[in-house]
């Protein structure tokens, strides 16, 4: 899953898709094409910055950022177009524009989101987040982060099923960095098999995240080696979708995992 951040302050590519105040749609589509050519099966288009302390984006602004990109990705590329949004109106509009996956960092908890997602008939990624982006990183505390995340995701799955969203439409995501300390993130990565045991595909987003900065002191643009290591560690523990800013490098790393898998069971 390649990340297309259409926010001006996206921490990972610092709004490089902007020309002044406006999103540069041609530059955005260049990025989309290169990610697809590099092997991305899904492109995740987000219009709301979830950076801690980021100013809330208006609904119209989020629509203006996301919908033109969804339309052109749908028209020009063979990838699944995922939309990273918590807003029900954006979910409905994006589905009408050709989106193939709803990626909600708030797991459809916003007013109207559950009904909107169900109405689109699209698959949904349910992610765990503790609190809201502007407060989530101030001393997050859990009795048992793995159990809390598993319980939350199980509850959201049950709520979705009650709304008519079938289990086979759902993807789960522990939400690395969303209200978690470095230790919480490492505990979740180590326990990924337990989350995978819930029986649904896992999506993992560790690419360029601050836990790498905290552990290694690396700036955002120097986090590729650690991001690749984390991608492999996650796949080996059950992740089946890796959300990445660096698709070509990640595809190569995961091709090594696949080569070993293709060898099959332990050779006699």
The residues that touch ligand 7PM, with contacts defined as CB under 6 A, are: 3, 10-12, 49-51, 84, 103, 105, 125, 127, 173, 175-177, 203, 205, 209, 243
Tell me whether residue 27 is one of the annotated catalytic residues: no
Closer to ligand 7PM at the Cβ: 165 or 203? 203
CB of 208 to ligand 7PM, least distance (A): 6
CB of 120 to ligand 7PM, least distance (A): 17
CB of 258 to ligand 7PM, least distance (A): 22
Closer to ligand 7PM at the Cβ: 113 or 125? 125
Q: Which two tokens stand for residue 74?
A: 């749908």
- Report the C-alpha gap between 266 and 268 in whole angstroms: 6
Q: Which two tokens stand for residue 12?
A: 């990972």
CB of 224 to ligand 7PM, least distance (A): 14
In order of 106, 158, 159, the CA distances from 166 in angstroms are 19, 10, 10
- Helix axis angle for 247-262 and 224-236, nearest 10°, is 30
Count other Cβ atoms within 10 Å, centred on residue 9: 13
Closer to ligand 7PM at the Cβ: 9 or 161? 9
Closer to ligand 7PM at the Cβ: 47 or 267? 47
Residue that the structure tokens 């208006």 belong to: 58
Contact 6, 48 (CB under 8 A): no
Closer to ligand 7PM at the Cβ: 31 or 260? 31
In order of 56, 152, 216, 226, the CA distances from 108 in angstroms are 18, 12, 34, 31
Q: What is the DSSP string of 192-220?
A: HHHHHTTSS-EEEE-TT-HHHHHHH---G
- Report the C-alpha gap between 236 and 254 in whole angstroms: 10
Residue 110: CB partners within 8 Å, gap ≥ 6? 86, 87, 88, 104
Which residue has the CB atom at the shortest distance from ligand 7PM?
205
Closer to ligand 7PM at the Cβ: 72 or 180? 180
Q: Catalytic residue, from 209, 218, 223, 237: name it.
A: 209
- Report the C-alpha gap between 233 and 39 in whole angstroms: 20
Tell me whether residue 74 is one of the annotated catalytic residues: no
Query: Which positions are catalytic?
Result: 209, 243
């Amino acid at each position: 899953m390649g990340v297309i951040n259409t926010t001006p302050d996206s921490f990972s590519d610092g709004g490089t898709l902007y020309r002044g105040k406006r999103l540069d749609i041609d530059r955005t589509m260049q990025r989309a094409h290169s990610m697809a050519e590099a092997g991305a099966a899904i492109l995740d288009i987000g219009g709301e910055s979830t950076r801690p302390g980021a100013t809330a984006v208006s609904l119209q602004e989020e629509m203006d950022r996301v919908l033109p990109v969804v339309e052109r990705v749908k028209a020009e590329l063979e990838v699944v177009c995922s939309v990273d949004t918590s807003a029900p109106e954006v979910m409905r509009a994006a589905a009408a524009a050709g989106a193939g996956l709803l990626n909600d960092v708030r797991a459809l908890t916003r007013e109207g989101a559950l009904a909107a997602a169900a109405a689109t008939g699209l698959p949904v990624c349910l992610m765990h987040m503790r609190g809201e982006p502007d407060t989530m990183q101030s001393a997050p505390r859990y009795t048992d982060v793995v159990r809390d995340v598993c319980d939350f995701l199980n509850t959201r799955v049950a709520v979705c099923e009650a709304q008519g969203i079938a289990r086979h439409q759902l993807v789960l995501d522990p939400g690395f960095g969303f209200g978690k300390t470095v230790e919480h993130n490492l505990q979740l990565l180590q326990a990924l098999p337990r989350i995978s045991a819930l029986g649904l595909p896992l999506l993992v987003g560790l690419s360029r995240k601050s836990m790498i900065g905290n552990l290694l002191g690396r700036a955002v643009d120097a986090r590729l080696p650690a991001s690749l290591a984390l991608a492999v560690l996650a796949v080996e523990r059950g992740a089946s979708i890796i959300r990445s800013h660096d698709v070509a490098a990640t595809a190569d790393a995961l091709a090594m995992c696949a080569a070993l898998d293709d060898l099959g069971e332990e050779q006699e």
